[in-house]
Structure 1
Amino acid sequence: MKTAHDLVAQAKLSINEVSIGDAPHAIQGADVLLDVREADEYANGHIPGAIHMSRGLLEFKLSNDPNLSSRDLKIVLYCKNSGRAALASKALHDMGYMNIQSIAGGFDAWAQAGNPIAKPEPIEFE
């Protein structure tokens, strides 16, 4: 029986991972940057310009959004440390998306490298 670790390792053999050093260039050339972490993780900080689309709903949201249906979109995605992003990359490839890149090391590596982090402004009610 395979473990989650086994599935991630297998996915990483067939996906395109970019190093943290190459990530800003990949993001700049992307049509869309997807954060596949959970909503609370995204709210605590994310890569500027990222759209939140949790891993659990990724395939459904992409299938239902006409703006994201083109299979030649250049998509860069990330998660906390690259496991969920690897699985998401493989799933998108299996769906026919041709230009998928995953950030090696994920958000943790991005933050540790001193790259900018965006945080949503809290809503204040008066």
Structure 2
Amino acid sequence: MKTAHDLVVEAKKSVEEISVDQAVKAIQSCDVLIDVRETEEYLAGHLPGALHMSRGMLEFKMAGNPKLQSRDLNIVLYCKTSGRAALCAQSLAQMGYSHIQSIAGGIDAWQAAGHDVFKPAQPSFE
């Protein structure tokens, strides 16, 4: 029986992880940047331009969006620390996507390196 940690370690063996420094350039040239965290995490702050597709819905949202059908898309994924993104990258590879990168360390590493995140304005009810 495997643990969640075992699954992540296994996924990372087959996933292209890129550093935050490499991610800056990769994001500029990618077709789609995807945040695979949960909705609350995404709304608390995300990388500018990132689409939200939580890990549990990723495959369905990719399959259901005609703009995301090409298996040649350049995809960059991230999560909080890179575990969920690695699992998602592995899943997308199994679906036939061939250009997938995952940001090592996730949004935590992104922010630790001093990069900005987009924080949507919360509605005011006053």
Task: Bin the TM-score by the shorter chain.
Answer: over 0.9
* Superposed displacement of residue 21, structure 1: 1.4
Give the match's secondary structure for 2:20: coil
Superposition TM-score, scaled by structure 1 size: 0.97
Runs of 4+ in 1 over 3 A off after TM superposition: none
* Superposed displacement of residue 123, structure 1: 2.5
Match for 2:22: what amino acid? D
Equivalent in the alignment of 2:19: 19
Equivalent in the alignment of 2:43: 43
**Aligned positions, number:** 126
Q: Distance in 1 between matches of 2:97 and 2:88?
A: 11
Which consecutive residues of structure 1, in runs of 5 or more, have no partner in the other structure? none
Which consecutive residues of structure 2, in runs of 5 or more, have no partner in the other structure? none
CA RMSD of aligned residues (A): 0.9
The alignment-based identity, stated in percent, is 62
Does residue 54 of structure 1 match 2:54?
yes
Q: Distance in 2 between matches of 1:124 and 1:62?
A: 33
How do 1:1-126 and structure 2 match up within 5 A?
1-125=1-125
Match for 2:29: what amino acid? G
Superposition TM-score, scaled by structure 2 size: 0.97
Match for 1:62: what amino acid? M
Q: Distance in 2 between matches of 1:62 and 1:124?
A: 33
Give the match's secondary structure for 1:10: helix
